[in-house]
Structure 1
Amino acid sequence: MIEKLIYKIQQARRRASKKLRVLNVVELNGLALRNNFEYFKKLHPESRICPVLKSNAYGHGINEIAQICDGLNAPYLVVDSYYEALELKKIGIKTPLLIIGYTHPDNYKNMKFSGIAITVLDKETIEALGNLRKKITIHLKVDTGMHRQGIPVNELEEALVLIKKYKKLNLEGICTHLADADNLKSDVFTKKQVGVFKKALLVAKKYGFEIKWRHVSATAGAGKIFGSEFNMIRMGLGLYGDSPFKDYKKLKPVLTFKSTIIDIKNLKKGECVSYGCTFKATKDMKIGIVPAGYYEGIDRELSNKGVIYHGKTACKIVGRVCMNLTMIDLSKAKNAKKWDSVEVIGADSARENSAREIAEMCGTITYVIWTHIAPTIRRKIV
């Protein structure tokens, strides 16, 4: 219930922002997303691509990304929770939805399953769904070695027998998740997992199941795993314009995070900026105040080392990033003025403020940079 309440508050704040002039906005390039989708379609003609929209579409904005993806003729849009599925149903998304996260069994009795498939992670879930005596489409997740979610291989036959017991359960898919597919130096563990998964498919066939969707790969796996045994790919990272492999250069980042200069201050030599006085001016200079901080999605690790762009000019972040404010050096941005737009996270992979470069600077991954953008910030398709 708390998760649902928080989600409602976030959505209400974003709806309210549409009536106001906002200082922060996330722009979403629909053409770039479709380019990335088509790239993977051509790379894998044997498979169908399913956009992954979990976790607010990797921070991009689930409603807006779903609106773009609804016209892609994907077999599913992948979400984490029933709350995400409900939100997409409310805005009229027609593409079927695949829930891959865990749902408490007590909640199933209150759920509507039309146009929704459930990923089954354990035998308790099979029983909970089966006892509803409703037609429900399921995908069975097999733990092939990641040891995070899914039916252990030694319990697979027992799970399949249980599914057969409940006649209204439709086992449409079998899936797993690869733990080491982004390893650029070795495929050993990935091949081991794929081998285990192929055996799982044979076991399902032995028990009389014809599996429509067989999926092991996300973006990383899509760069390594090919074969007619697998006919669906859960595309998250690549959809939004990044990849652990060199092909990321063929992809187009979808997201641009823009903010505004709300004030300009003249700093004298020797004066300090922000908490802890970690920046001291070595000369007279101008600084710009940007109304976005670590709550909005500017990582605190960027203090005194990240950049925000004013037009084509990279302006260094000076002082510590605050909760809702960041200060930038305007020495090189001679024409900068109050209310000018600035680019916090850009879609140009060559720039220092691309999500990929920011992630490297912060010692993390692009997923983290994207998902830390506050969900209350307005998203806009451009």
Structure 2
Amino acid sequence: MALQIALDFLKQQKQHLRKILILSDIPGVQVKDEKTFGKLKRLISESGLTELIFIGPVLGQLVSQFTLPITNYADTKSFLEDLKHINYSDATILIKGARDYHFEQISKRLVAKSHDTTLEINLNALEHNLNVYRGLLPPGVKLMAMVKAFSYGSGSFEIANLLQFNHVDYLTVAFTDEGVDLRNGGITLPIVVMSPDENAFDAIVQHRLEPEIYSFRILNSFIRYLKQHDLKGFPVHIKVDTGMHRLGFMPEEIEALLAILKNQEVIRVQSVFSHLASAGNVVDDKFTENQIQLLDEFTAQLKQELGYSFIRHIAATSGIALWPSAYFDMVRLGIGLYGIDLEREDLPVKEVSVLKTNVTQIKQLSATETIGYNRAGVIHRPSRIATIKIGYADGYDRRFGNGVGKMSINGQIVATVGNICMDMCMLDVTDIEVNEEDEVIVYPDIKEAALAIGTIPYELLVNISQRVKRVYFYE
């Protein structure tokens, strides 16, 4: 039953205490169908819902059989007419309706009640992308999902909840506080902390986080901490530097590393891993092959000396797409999960997030006028200029000013004019039909946008300010 799947997913959402189900009548099912409604009552009673909204005459006859607060509407139109009087702040809302009830109208109206500038995140697309990459993996290869940096700008609990619901094997964050937030949000999956700080060991242990160990300093400090607290067998992940030269033990340090690992009982190696420096660059294929071989040799010696097995991994998104020989026991899925694969155009990944805003005001200006700070926006003809509600405080880079940035309004591409302001920017809309309050797509093509200012899509995504409202869809 699709409703059961949806309610199971909703149950994992811990970020809001209020959980609301908006449900329509079920086509062809009448009040006398005790089996169907008995199951419905059981699902709702086990769901953790706090409020119900029923739409349709059949469900309306069953209101008295539920103990939760219920509001009933005869049809979708009646609900929409009353929507402006309903407070949905700090709530997670599940919308489940038959096609005849046109619940897409409800979705659009609920989004319209949110902040003018929004990042719309399609959780179905994210789930699809996860399965695309899973489909490349042989049976038995585990999958670690990267949710660092606010899940590449897409959110924290919401993304982690979906990944947990889809049974990934590990989550990875950059810093301890990110992992603590996920634990407080109800995430129970193993979580690796890539940059553990010695001052955060208490939080790591308390919240069952698993630290990356990349240096003798961190290794010895963590061992001392665990001994002081009389702990044994705590899982850690050993980072090996096979050529990235960022963090990790050098291969030639393995004897010194083994001397420490074999002389203690407080930690247990859960995984040993490295990072491919140039997996997507064909001119570096020999270098990549050497990195894979170095990890293989390092882990073989470590396993022999320690006397037990552990997970090995080196492939991130590019490695998953291009290097099956790098799969080992687990892979780490990052930017590809969010719909951006810079290596393989043939992979059918879907765009997960869309940054949207709207037109605040339109002005008709003569050819002699200038626009914005320092009068940087120069026009050479009578022009219509639209001001929109996004600026560099929202994460829209100042380098997009003066025609570099391109946006989409009603399917038409328009360019910025003048410098980007803190909370707003201006677009030249002279050649298109546009009205105030029309929707604006900020990045019609995020790869092209990144290229225009000499960066990568990762940076554009993670720089979207947290003041921009995230709106999630899961259908």
- The question of a shared fold, defined as TM-score above 0.5 by the shorter chain, is answered with yes
Matched, 1:139 2:237: yes
Partner of 2:471: 380
Q: Is 1:57–2:57 an aligned residue pair?
A: no
- Asked whether the equivalents of residues 40 and 49 of structure 1 are also in contact (C-alpha less than 8 Å), the reply is no
Greater RCO, CA 8 A, separation 6+: 1
- AA aligned to 1:167 is E
Matched with 2:396 is: 298
Check if 1:366 corresponds to 2:457.
yes
Per the TM alignment, residue 137 of structure 1 is displaced from its structure 2 partner at its CA by 0.7
1:73 is matched with 167
Equivalent in the alignment of 1:4: none
Q: Does 1:314 align with 2:413?
A: yes
Identify, as 1 or 2, the structure richer in helix: 2
Structure 2 CA distance for partners of 1:338 and 1:320, relative to 1, 3 Å: same
For the pair shown, the structure with the greater C-alpha radius of gyration is: 2
Contact 1:140 1:171 in 2 (8 A): yes
Q: Deviations over 1:330-382 (max 9, x none)?
A: 22332x2222221112xxxxxxx221110111111111111111122111211
Secondary structure in 1 aligned to 2:386? Answer: strand
- The residue correspondences of 1:1-382 to structure 2 (distance < 5 A) are 21-46=114-139, 47-100=141-194, 102-131=195-224, 132-133=226-227, 134-135=231-232, 136-227=234-325, 230-247=328-345, 250-303=348-401, 304-334=403-433, 336-345=434-443, 353-382=444-473
Contact kept in structure 1, 2:204 and 2:210, CA below 8 Å: no
Shift of 1:39: 0.8
CA distance in 1, matches of 2:136, 2:442: 32
In 2, the alpha carbon distance for the partners of 1:373 and 1:309 equals 18
Give secondary structure in 1 for the equivalent of 2:237. Answer: strand
Once the 2 structures are TM-superposed, how far is the Cα of residue 196 of structure 1 from its aligned partner?
0.9
Q: 1:110: Cα distance to partner?
A: 4.5
**AA aligned opposite 1:223:** A
Separation in 2, partners of 1:377, 1:318? 22
Match for 1:251: what amino acid?
V
Mapped to 2, the partners of 1:93 and 1:319 lie a distance apart of 45
Bigger drift between 82-91 and 222-231 goes to 222-231
| Residue type at the aligned position of 1:331 | T
Q: What does the per-residue CA deviation read over 1:95-144, in whole Å, with 9 as the maximum and x for residues that have no partner? A: 221112x2222331353355422111112222222221324211100111
**Which moves more between the two structures, 54-63 or 173-182?**
54-63
- Letter of the aligned partner of 2:199 in structure 1? D
Seen in structure 2, the aligned counterparts of structure 1 residues 110 and 60 have a Cα distance that, compared at 3 Å, is closer
Judged with a 3 Å threshold, the aligned counterparts in structure 2 of structure 1 residues 28 and 106 are, in CA distance, closer, same or farther, namely same
Distance, in Å, in 1 between the alignment partners of 2:339 and 2:254 is: 36
**Distance change in 2, residues 1:184/1:275 (3 Å):** farther
Structure 1 CA distance for aligned equivalents of residues 200 and 184 of structure 2: 19
Q: Deviations over 1:190-236 (max 9, x none)?
A: 11111111110111122134333111011111123224871111111
Percent identical residues: 26
TM-fit CA distance, 1:58 = 1.3
Distance 2:295 2:214 in 1: 15
Q: Describe the shift of the 1:339–1:129 C-alpha distance in structure 2 as closer, same or farther (beyond 3 A).
A: same
TM-score scaled by length of structure 2: 0.71
Please give the alpha-carbon distance, in whole angstroms, between the structure 2 residues aligned to 1:378 and 1:191: 43
Offset of 1:249 from its aligned partner?
Answer: 5.1
Distance in 1, matches of 2:346 and 2:157, equals: 25
Q: Gapped runs of 5+ residues in structure 2?
A: 1-14, 16-87, 91-112
Larger CA deviation: 105-114 vs 171-180: 105-114
Does the residue aligned with 2:387 lie in a helix, a strand or coil? strand
Deviation at 1:328, TM superposition (A): 0.9
Q: How far is the alpha carbon of 1:250 from its aligned partner?
A: 1.6
The residue type paired with residue 109 of structure 1 is: D
Gaps of 5+ in 1: 1-10, 12-16, 346-352
Provide the residue aligned with 2:36 in structure 1. none
Bigger drift between 126-135 and 175-184 goes to 126-135
